[in-house]
A = this chain, B = another copy of it.
Amino acid sequence: MGSTWGNRIKISVFGESHGPAIGVVIDGLPAGISIDESHIVKEMGRRAPGTQAGSTPRKEPDLPTVLSGLYNGKTTGTPLAMEILNTNTHSSDYDGFTVTPRPGHADYTARLRYKMNNDPRGGGHFSGRLTAPVLFAGAIAKQVLKAKCGAEVYGHIIRIGKVNAPSWEEEEMPVIPTEGNFPQENPSLASRMTAEIEAAKLENDSVGGIVEVMATGFPGGIGSPMWDTVESNFAQLMFGVPAVKGVSFGSGFEVASRRGSQNNDHLLFKDGKLRMSTNHGGGFEGGISNGMPILAQVAFKPTPSIGAEQDTVDLDAKENVKIQIKGRHDACIVPRALPVAEGCLALALLDAYMAKGELA
């Protein structure tokens, strides 16, 4: 029951990495929203492998086919279903991982959970490939959200390994890294980050990172305490991605080090408009949006598939063994994960925004 998420907007994700297809059903979209399919394709392209520094050389066109829910280019209001056929799979690369689980992957836990009945090829339903349908849903949500309330979602990378970049905490309208193939607006930091990835790659290793996502134009007063808030729902969505180990909002874990006098966002009228003096809260007080930019950070662990020999076990022989993972892997998934995180924020915002009518 775990691959279904949402309240007013429900998404139901399906598929295994090397099965016939992966996809998603999105239920609850408002009717009559024009969908720009080229935007969807562009968003999917941001996640596609082979286009970014350190990404796997696999070529996955990942072209989504819409099965329902669009008519004359607009949402019908009934479920929007999409599938991506799986091609170019090398299942033999994955033989044996049920017996000798790869460290850092779900091979062992999936075996336990499904009593060896899960599809292990390519990680099955636990594959990072399953973020493609999530991203698709997120790309739809971005368009619907913009059409309904004008809000837009952006993102950038704020850490790769040891290289940090500044948060957008102080920004009202950030410089968006739309150009180039690495989503960090500062060219010098982008270079250092890609170098960090290249260094890991050269050493048959991988590296983690942090993305930051932001929404501008999202109205205040949205969300319902305690657990139907954008914060709660975005966190729930993001932790559905196996590589995610942390989620925070506004100043995030940094708030723990502060005094209240430093951390409180103060209200003020500026040019006749109400706003906050700072955005340490990331756009929320009490879980309800306050009209400031929505700001969140998501930490991704380094790709567990690395070329070096690693320790693991043989679950049949019940002995400790070595494993060396072959195949094609990302040295860093963070650049490809960014549009997924943006899409998840759009989904959480849209889901919350849809309740606005309930309040009226």
B356 A67 Cβ-Cβ under 8 A: no
**Which of these binds chain B: A26-34, A44-52, A172-180, A182-190?**
A26-34
A104 B302 Cβ-Cβ under 8 A: no
Could you tell me the distance between the alpha carbons of A5 and B206 in the complex, rounded to whole angstroms?
37
Could you tell me the distance between the alpha carbons of A284 and B66 in the complex, rounded to whole angstroms?
30
Number of copies: 4
CB contacts (< 8 Å) of A106 on chain B: these are 225, 285-288
- Contact of A61 with B by CB under 8 A: no
Least CB separation from A277: chain B residue = B311
Minimum C-beta distance from A89 to chain B (A): 13
- Contact of A310 with B by CB under 8 A: yes
| Contact residues, A1-51 vs B (CB, 8 A) | 1-10, 12-16, 19-23, 25, 27-28, 30-32
Could you tell me the distance between the alpha carbons of A360 and B221 in the complex, rounded to whole angstroms?
18
| Contact residues, A245-286 vs B (CB, 8 A) | 245-253, 255-269, 272, 274, 277, 280-282, 284-286
- Contact of A210 with B by CB under 8 A: yes
Least CB separation from A21: chain B residue = B67
Please pick, from B19, B69, B159, B262, the residue contacting A257 in the complex, using a CB distance under 8 A: B159
- Contact of A217 with B by CB under 8 A: no
Minimum C-beta distance from A243 to chain B (A): 9
- Known contacts A21-B68, A245-B252, A286-B242; is-contact A267 B1 (Cβ 8 Å): no
A31 B359 Cβ-Cβ under 8 A: yes
B8 A71 Cβ-Cβ under 8 A: no
Could you tell me the distance between the alpha carbons of A119 and B76 in the complex, rounded to whole angstroms?
6
A267 B75 Cβ-Cβ under 8 A: no
B261 A205 Cβ-Cβ under 8 A: yes
- Known contacts A5-B227, A104-B265; is-contact A81 B23 (Cβ 8 Å): yes
A1 B224 Cβ-Cβ under 8 A: yes
CB contacts (< 8 Å) of A116 on chain B: these are 32
- Contact of A117 with B by CB under 8 A: yes
Could you tell me the distance between the alpha carbons of A118 and B297 in the complex, rounded to whole angstroms?
31
Q: In the complex, how many residues of chain A place their beta carbon closer than 8 angstroms to a beta carbon of chain B?
A: 158
B68 A15 Cβ-Cβ under 8 A: yes
A20 B65 Cβ-Cβ under 8 A: yes
CB contacts (< 8 Å) of A300 on chain B: these are 255-256
A264 B1 Cβ-Cβ under 8 A: no
CB contacts (< 8 Å) of A266 on chain B: these are 103, 310-312
Minimum C-beta distance from A344 to chain B (A): 11
- Contact of A232 with B by CB under 8 A: yes
Could you tell me the distance between the alpha carbons of A107 and B130 in the complex, rounded to whole angstroms?
37
Least CB separation from A308: chain B residue = B261
24 CB-based A-B contacts, threshold 8 Å: A2-B28, A4-B12, A14-B81, A21-B81, A71-B124, A77-B359, A108-B220, A108-B267, A126-B225, A126-B286, A134-B226, A162-B257, A208-B260, A242-B287, A245-B253, A245-B281, A248-B248, A248-B253, A253-B253, A253-B299, A255-B300, A255-B301, A255-B302, A355-B357
Q: Can you add 11 more A-B contacts, CB < 8 Å, to A112-B220, A268-B313?
A: A3-B78, A15-B68, A20-B68, A77-B114, A104-B264, A109-B288, A203-B259, A227-B236, A235-B247, A255-B301, A266-B312
